[in-house]
Amino acid sequence: MSVVETPPKDEAPRHQATVTRTQQVTPKMRRITFGGAGLSDFETSGSPDERVLVRFPLDPPHARSFTVRRWQPSKNELEIDFVLHGHGGAALWAATAQPGETVHLSTASGWFKPPAECDWLLLVADHAALPAIGRILEEAPDGLPIHVIAQVPAPSEQQTFTTRADAHYRWIDEADSLLAELAAIPLPPGEGYIWCAVEAATARRIRAHLRRTSEIPAPRMHVMGYWREDKENWERRYAVVADRIDAAMGEAMMAGKDFEAVRDAVDDAMEREGL
């Protein structure tokens, strides 16, 4: 029930993609452009936050899901921005990848689905979600009010995005709280849509705030955990209490609660267990 790393719906390796060039976007963000015949039948999901599962040429095998920063069918080119955080197979591969190297990609799936009648957007993201933020802004309608709250490890990681929207940015550093920033912002009038992609535990608390304090209806928001801090240790701790988490989910389902309410029950159980 916990949404983490948001893998695409179809994880099979459908497309071989070849590195054609690289670009340093910021000191800790590297853009890799892929091409090749294997992308000739790639199809976008249509969502600007769409992700693909990338299988890297590593031993042991290594795969992670990443946002499609840009897809240009006329050029048969796909771009992915990689955070260079200095650990993990994907980041280490991306730091040194050269033209001619290949990876395999799944089909694409996305989650950004604002209602047809939408007066404003609020985007909440950390460093890992900036590629999706960039694409959402680039594809946004003319003049749409968009407020961005983005957390980055240093001012040098702030980015400038091209957009036709009326975009406003609030950049915060890693010592600041995304939840506190969000809670301090009065939501604009009208019907909006909130999209949030951050670390999993932070996502859980932001979702609880939006549902219970701000009373945002489920169709008007999407909150997901892009990654898990100290994942290996978390998985060990989760294994110890998994039965209690499952019991909370089962109880909610047996009570006939809807998906969002069942997710509330699971999130609450995780919070009680310190996860």
- Report the alpha-carbon distance of residue 93 to residue 87 in Å, rounded: 10
Structure confidence at residue 229 (pLDDT): 83
Return the H-helix or E-strand segment holding 53. strand 51-56
- Report the alpha-carbon distance of residue 34 to residue 20 in Å, rounded: 5
Model confidence band, residue 7 (pLDDT cutoffs 50, 70, 90)? low
Structure confidence at residue 1 (pLDDT): 36
Structure confidence at residue 210 (pLDDT): 95
131-190: pLDDT as tens digits: 999 999 999 999 999 999 999 999 999 999 999 999 999 999 998 999 999 999 999 999
Structure confidence at residue 157 (pLDDT): 97
* Domains of the chain in sequence order: 15-105 (2.40.30.10), 120-227 (3.40.50.80), 231-272 (no CATH)
**Phi, psi dihedral angles at 139 (to 5 degrees):** -100, 0
- Cβ atoms 155, 171 nearer than 8 A: yes
Query: How many C-alpha atoms does 165 have within 13 Å on its Cβ side?
Result: 26
pTM: 0.91
Residue 2, pLDDT > 60, answer no
Structure confidence at residue 8 (pLDDT): 59
253-266: pLDDT as tens digits: 999 999 989 998 99
210-247: pLDDT as tens digits: 999 999 999 999 999 988 888 888 889 989 999 999 99
With a pLDDT cut of 90, the percent of the chain lying above it is 84
Structure confidence at residue 275 (pLDDT): 87
- Report the alpha-carbon distance of residue 29 to residue 25 in Å, rounded: 5
Residues facing residue 257 across a β-bridge: none
